[in-house]
Amino acid sequence: MHPNPLHTPVTYLKGVGPGRASLLGRELGIETYQDLLYLFPNRYIDKTRFHKIRELQRNSADVQVVGKIIHLKTVEQKRGKRLVATFVDDTGEMELVWFRSHQWFRDRLKLNAPYVIFGRVNWFNGRFSMPHPEITPVEVFRQQRRIAMQPVYPSTEKLGQQGVTNRVVAQWMQQLLSEVGEVIPETLPAGLREELHLPIKKEALLQAHFPDSTEQLARAQFRLKFEELFYIQLALLTKKMQRKSRIKGLPFEKVGEAFTGFYQHHLPFELTQAQKRVLREIRADLGSYAQMNRLLQGDVGSGKTIVAVMAILLAIDNGYQACLIAPTEILAQQHFQSVRELLEPMGLEVALLTGSVKARQRAPVYEKLRSGELPVLVGTHAVLEDKVRFANLGLAIIDEQHRFGVAQRARMWKKNQTPPHVLVMTATPIPRTLAMSLYGDLDVSVIDELPPGRKPIRTLHRTDADRLRVFGFLREQIALGRQVYVVYPLIQESEALDYKDLMDGYESITREFPAPRYQVSIVHGKMKPEAKDFEMQRFVGGQTQIMVATTVIEVGVNVPNATVMVIESAERFGLSQLHQLRGRVGRGADQSYCILMSGNKLSGEAKTRLQTMVDTNDGFEIAEADLRLRGPGDLMGTQQSGLLALKIADVVKDQDILRSARFYAQQLLRKDPGLELEEHRMVREKMARMDVFRTIWDYIS
């Protein structure tokens, strides 16, 4: 056995062996005793109840019945045979059916002997039948250890085919708990357990697999969920403390000419209270001698760019350079234009660096960055290349951060002796609970009001029957000099179909809006980047009135004159996508509209999504609704969901437990920041073993 019994390879568990062990590894990622122990049931079957045949309902439920077999027959069928038993109790009769192993059952089943059967009932040819029931003689049933609530474990088709049934997994689990039950270490301090009335770890694991009652199950699950979330919060909060103590920041000690000059003479509009509050938070960070690591959340159009520009000016005032990185070329272009418009009147040079900037234009940019002559650089991933060297980078601003991997961010730090201050911006509002899990080590600022003069976008849901009225409305808007987006969904699996939908849409639009009176642009994934940019530029410049596109119109594209967003097959989009697309309009002073087009037949979830869009423009409300509908995995893209490989907790359903876990983690660290007290030794040991804790950069976003 392994020095730590829980790390023993699962192949050594009685009944598993090498073949099944490799199957468990491939199908469920289970390699050790500990992995198996943390394979929790999806649901439980209550075996405390016995049903009478007369009470059975036609609802395909799992039921348990006591009775006897009075007749057995083999029935020929198209392929092979089936064994049919007539099973009776004192209220009626039903059939038991076996499609395989029938000879084995035929030899062993006794007529008129009492049996307990368990399985899923079907209604077939006017009577109830139960295919492949679990069947146990009553005297054996009485001797077995009573499992009141039977666990049902996650499985896959391959496991089922190889005979790894639920019954087999449950047997392994009983075997495992009897082998290692006594050596399962406690991982929560006694004081915390007593305060929250939590069962000990060993008991919680036993009850989570084989609960004696629903009450015991609820206690066990609470304990295990709390522990899982508690340690994630502890790791994130410890990282935050380490970063603030170990990673010295560049001190931005003064607020100088650049910042105050801009504020007094060049600010294009009055800042909102939310923008002022966020700026105060950023200034406090920058002046604190610790490295800033702040997440700036703001809904589409809430004015994050102006806050970023003012942070850049603070860097310049203190003699440092700043850079702003965006995930795509088109976004970097837009940031470049808006930052340059704001800073050039003050005599500050801004340069752009993206993949498509020619080599001969790059050389002078590299040179000016190295000499310190160029204060501000805007770009894409191209900024991360080794050739890009700064004289003294003081501030890095990353837009739409979930598109940048950990390794890419780490390269940003190496550009300086002292890591630059980091401001991460996102227009995808992240619900508080998810932010606490994914960005628990970041300080979070939120801009939660729109600039004055912005009219809320009116959102309408229309079906195909209303299409002609919608076209009429588009004509009215175009006659007023406005522009329109028409967006089609993109579902990667069927590119041909998407392309056909888009082309059909394009043709019907050009029929309804014929040239030369109307000009229509089209943008889709199969086009070359130059062609795409050319079409986007025509639309931005107002030469075309309608832009027909798949979802390639990126986050952040800014065309103030576009006031209508028509989303075709809106039921095929997720909520956050719909909200992002809606944010493409409403950027000017005119009333804007978002029209969600869908078919007549909608699933319940699709109806909820579209109704949520009609009801609210608040990105945070939408993100909360999205989290409830979809769960956290999809919300952040794959790169982030990997961080939350939770075994039992669920950040959506267990928000209260998450808040409680964070509160107690903060309390513990206040009392004992270095986890040095003897009462916290088990916490210290568990933290040392945790994967998330290997490198300080892993979690710093």
558 vs 531, higher pLDDT? 531
Please return the burial class of 411, using the count of CB atoms within 10 Å of its CB with bins 0-12, 13-18 and 19+.
middle
* Average of per-residue pLDDT across 258-274: 90
CATH number at residue 161: 1.10.150
Confidence (pLDDT) at 33: 94
The pTM score is 0.64
Q: Which of 264-268, 369-373, 599-603, 617-621 has the lowest average pLDDT? A: 617-621
**pLDDT interval class at 497 (50, 70, 90):** low
Task: Let me know whether 549 and 584 are in one domain.
Answer: yes
Q: How do residues 452-479 score in pLDDT, each as one tens digit?
A: 777 889 999 999 899 999 999 999 999 9
pLDDT at 246 over 50: yes
Residue 669 lies in a domain: no
Say if residues 204 and 189 touch (Cβ distance below 8 Å): no
Confidence (pLDDT) at 412: 67
How many domains are there within the chain? 4
pLDDT at 279 over 90: yes
* Average of per-residue pLDDT across 229-255: 84
Q: Which of the listed ranges 3-12, 85-94, 613-622 does the model predict with the highest average pLDDT? A: 85-94
The strand pairing partners of 124, in sequence order, are 127
Give the domain range for residue 308.
257-286+302-426
Confidence (pLDDT) at 47: 77
pLDDT at 409 over 70: no
Task: Let me know whether 32 and 90 are in one domain.
Answer: no
Nearest to 503 by CA among 468, 470, 462, 550: 550
Kindly give the residue spans of alpha helices, DSSP state H, lying in 549-654.
575-582, 604-615, 619-630, 632-635, 638-641
Cα–Cα distances in Å, from 119 out to 75, 165, 235?
Answer: 21, 14, 45
Q: Where does a domain end: 616, 643, 671?
A: 616
Q: How do residues 336-356 score in pLDDT, each as one tens digit?
A: 988 999 999 999 999 999 988
The strand pairing partners of 443, in sequence order, are 294
Confidence (pLDDT) at 267: 87
- What is the 8-class DSSP label of residue 385? S
Confidence (pLDDT) at 550: 81
263 vs 283: CA distance, rounded Å: 14
pLDDT at 229 over 50: yes
Q: Where does a domain end: 546, 581, 616?
A: 616
**pLDDT interval class at 189 (50, 70, 90):** very high
Task: Let me know whether 140 and 167 are in one domain.
Answer: no
Task: Let me know whether 420 and 465 are in one domain.
Answer: no
Task: Let me know whether 38 and 101 are in one domain.
Answer: no
The average confidence (pLDDT) of the chain is 85
pLDDT at 64 over 50: yes
Residue 232 lies in a domain: no
CATH number at residue 494: 3.40.50.300
Confidence (pLDDT) at 642: 38
Residue 189 lies in a domain: no
Q: Which of 81-95, 122-136, 426-440, 613-627 has the lowest average pLDDT? A: 426-440
Task: Let me know whether 52 and 119 are in one domain.
Answer: yes
Percent of the chain with pLDDT over 70: 89
**pLDDT interval class at 687 (50, 70, 90):** confident
**pLDDT interval class at 635 (50, 70, 90):** very low
